[in-house]
């Protein structure tokens, strides 16, 4: 990444119209307008539907394997965003992973506080299983609040006795709604996208009277034993850096295979700017390689050959 790329992205986010802690109705409109200003590639198809009674958007790209599913969870601090708004980033991940993405339109706060989002995520996944999709053919992907929701959902699946998906990849996860990470203050000046006060406002909307340290609200405090392989990507210029670091440490302490990637000089959910920043493109390729590697052992899944090596010969 060039310094100019980093500065351009920083300026774009720092001077943008989105206020994560602002009036919910206004910021939902702002968020949607920002996303809508970047058209989807012409070869991406988006189809709304229902999964377990939960609205979803299925995102497909040419050449994907319909038997493989990325269950995708959008960001927006549990109050903003939608499955349709996330279609661009979901398509980017799906294209590189060779799978179709199903983006979950979980209910938002403050109208639908915790644990509505977790309940919707579990319902959507359970419906996939009921349709005959094996758990080994499903991978979870989530960004920001959606990243925290991914891990919370995995914990809820374990509590419900449901099988875990093949893997999970999370981008800049919001995993601690107690807001006690050191980077909340330490990275406040460097972070061009999020503010501590904005997150406090949205955490209050989502939690209502619930305990912010509840494992299904803040999975940094959960028992993560038995979760599938986990990839965590985070930028070093974001106030949620410590959420990612502590989540990785928690997973490792509970014997979960975890890959923590800290990308220097990059902001919150930088993966959404692959057309602008070289490292964002590289991070998406890394996430896809991780996801594909955990499908490789599944019967009928594509064989993944490490870069620089060909198939064995007799």
Structural tokens at position 43? 């070869």
The number of beta carbons lying within 10 Å of the beta carbon of residue 209 is: 6
The pLDDT score that the predictor gives to residue 297 is 55
Per-residue confidence (pLDDT) for residue 243, from 0 to 100: 98
Q: What is the spatial distance between Cα 245 and Cα 170, in angstroms, rounded to a whole number?
A: 12
pLDDT of residue 36: 78
Please give the structure tokens belonging to residue 192: 């061009």
Q: How many CB atoms lie within 10 A of CB 304?
A: 13
Tokens of 245: 């670091």
- At 295 the pLDDT is 86
Token representation of residue 25: 């109705």
> What is the structure's pLDDT at 311?
31
- Both structure tokens of 142: 């989530």
Write the class of the CATH domain 3-295.
Answer: alpha beta
Model pTM? 0.93
pLDDT value, residue 39: 87
Task: Report the catalytic residues.
Answer: 144, 238, 268
Give the pLDDT confidence score for residue 35 in this predicted structure. 84
Report the C-alpha gap between 81 and 75 in whole angstroms.
6
Query: Looking at residue 37, what is its pLDDT?
Result: 78
Are the beta carbons of 66 and 39 closer than 8 angstroms?
A: no
Those residues whose C-beta lies under 8 Å from the C-beta of residue 184, and which sit 6 or more positions away, are 196, 199, 239, 240, 242
Judge contact between 231 and 289, C-beta under 8 A: no
User: What pLDDT shows up at residue 212?
Assistant: 98
Domain boundaries, the chain: 3-295
pLDDT of residue 296: 64
Length of the chain, in residues = 314
Residue 295 and residue 139 in contact, taking contact as beta carbons nearer than 8 Å:
yes
Answer for the pair 113, 56: CB distance below 8 angstroms, yes or no.
no
What does the alpha-carbon distance between residue 311 and residue 111 come to, in Å, rounded to a whole number? 54
pLDDT for residue 313: 29
Run means of pLDDT, 10 residues per run, the chain, 314 residues: 82 93 96 86 96 98 94 98 95 96 98 98 98 97 98 98 98 98 97 97 97 98 98 98 98 98 97 93 97 72 34 30
């Amino acid at each position: 990444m060039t310094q100019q790329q980093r500065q351009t992205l920083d300026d774009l986010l720092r001077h943008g119209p989105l206020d994560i802690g602002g009036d919910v109705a206004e910021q939902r409109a702002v968020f949607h307008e920002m996303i809508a200003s970047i058209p989807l590639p012409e070869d991406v198809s988006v189809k709304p539907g229902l999964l377990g009674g939960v609205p979803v958007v299925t995102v497909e790209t040419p050449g994907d394997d319909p038997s493989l599913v990325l269950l995708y969870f959008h960001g927006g601090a549990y109050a903003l965003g939608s499955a349709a708004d996330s279609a661009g980033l979901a398509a980017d991940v799906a294209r590189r992973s060779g799978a179709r993405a199903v983006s979950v339109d979980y209910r938002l706060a403050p109208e639908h506080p915790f644990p509505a989002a977790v309940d919707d995520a579990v319902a959507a996944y359970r419906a996939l299983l009921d349709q005959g999709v094996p758990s080994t053919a499903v991978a979870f992907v989530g960004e920001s609040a959606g990243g925290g929701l991914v891990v919370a959902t995995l914990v809820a699946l374990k509590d419900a006795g449901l099988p875990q998906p093949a893997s999970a990849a999370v981008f800049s996860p919001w995993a601690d709604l107690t807001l006690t990470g050191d980077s909340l203050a330490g990275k406040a000046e460097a972070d061009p996208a999020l503010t501590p006060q904005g997150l406090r406002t949205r955490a209050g909307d989502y939690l209502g009277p619930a305990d912010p340290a509840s494992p299904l609200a803040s999975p940094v405090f959960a028992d993560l034993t038995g979760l599938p392989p986990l990839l965590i990507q985070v930028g070093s210029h974001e106030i949620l850096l410590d959420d990612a670091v502590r989540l990785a440490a928690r997973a490792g302490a509970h014997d979960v295979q975890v890959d923590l990637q800290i990308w220097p000089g990059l902001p919150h959910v930088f993966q959404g700017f692959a057309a602008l920043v070289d490292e964002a493109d590289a991070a998406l390729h890394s996430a896809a390689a991780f996801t594909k590697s955990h499908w490789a052992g599944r019967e009928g899944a594509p064989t993944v050959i490490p870069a620089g090596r060909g198939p064995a010969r007799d």
